[in-house]
Chain A
Amino acid sequence: MRERKRFSPWKDKDFMRMLAVTAFIFAAMSILRPQLFLRETNFTSMGYQIPELGFYSLAMMMVMITGGRDLSIVSIGNLCCIVAAYIMHGAVEQGISGPGAWVYILGGIAAALAVGAACGLINGLVVANFSVPPMLVTMATSSIFMGIGIILTEGKTVSKTPAEFTYFGNHTLLGLPYMLWLLILTILATALILNRTQFGFDVRMVGSNAKASHYTGINVNRVLVKAYLYSGVVCALCGLEILARTDTAKSDYALTYTFQAILCAVLGATNPNGGFAKVSCMVLSLAALQFLSSGFNMLRLGGYFKEFTWGLLLIVVLSLEYLSQELKRKQSLRELARRHQKKP
Chain B
Amino acid sequence: MKNIVTIQDMYKSFFGVVAMDGMNFSINEGEIRCLVGENGCGKSTLIKMISGFYAPDEGSLTINGTPYKRITPAESIANGIQVIYQDFSLFPNMTIAENIMMYDTVAKKRPFIHWKAMRKRAVETLERIHFQIDPDLYVSELNVAQKQMVAICRAIVQEARLLIMDEPTTALTTKEVSKLFDVVAALKAHGVSVLFVSHKLDEVLEICDSITIMRNGKNVYDSQKGDKVLSKEEIIFYMTGKRFSNATYDFRDPGEAPLMEVEHYTMRGAFQDVSFSLRKGEILGITGLLGCGRGELAESLFGLIPADSGSIRINGREAGIFRKVDDALAHNIAYVPEDRLTEGLHLDQSIADNAVSRIIGRFAGRTGLLDIKGLSRQKEESLSSMSVAGMKPQNPAKSLSGGNQQKIVLIKWLASNPDILILNCPTVGVDIGAKNDIHGIVRSLASEKGVGVIVISDDIYEIMQLCNRVLVMKDGKISMETDVRNTTMEQLETYLASEEEGGAAS
Binding site for B on A (CB under 8 A): 1-5, 192, 196-198, 201-202, 204-205, 208-209, 211-219, 271, 273, 275-276, 325, 328-329, 331-333, 335-337, 340
Contacts and interface: CB of A to CB of B under 8 A. Distances in A.
Given A328-B16, A332-B13, A337 B349 contact: no
Interface residues of B, number: 43
Contacts of A331: 16
Contact of A201 (B13, B337, B353): B353
Given A192-B369, A217-B326, A329-B16, A2 B350 contact: yes
Contact of A197 (B349, B364, B376, B394): B364
A216 B358 contact: yes
Nearest to B379: A3
Contact of A215 (B335, B363, B370): B335
Nearest to A273: B348
Given A3-B376, A209-B345, 17 more contacts: A1-B349, A3-B393, A196-B370, A197-B368, A197-B369, A201-B370, A204-B353, A209-B342, A209-B346, A212-B344, A214-B304, A215-B335, A217-B326, A217-B358, A275-B348, A333-B13, A335-B16
A197 to B, nearest CB: 6
Interface of A is mostly: helix
A19 to B, nearest CB: 21
Given A196-B372, A215-B325, A337-B58, A1 B346 contact: no
Nearest to B20: A336
Given A197-B364, A198-B360, A202-B360, A214 B325 contact: yes
B376 A4 contact: yes
Nearest to B353: A1
B353 A328 contact: no
Nearest to A206: B346
A218 B370 contact: no
B357 A205 contact: yes
B361 interface: yes
Contacts of A205: 346, 349, 353, 357
A5 B57 CA distance: 38
B343 interface: yes
A329 B345 contact: no
Contacts of B369: 192, 196-197
Contacts of A211: 342-343
B325 A217 contact: yes
Interface in B1-56: 11, 13-18, 22
Contacts of A192: 369
A275 to B, nearest CB: 5
B370 A336 contact: no
6 contacts: A3-B394, A202-B360, A211-B342, A271-B348, A328-B15, A329-B16
Contacts of A208: 346-349
A325 B15 contact: yes
A1 B16 contact: no
B443 to A, nearest CB: 24
Contacts of B16: 328-329, 331-332, 335
B393 to A, nearest CB: 7
A329 B55 CA distance: 14
A218 B354 CA distance: 12
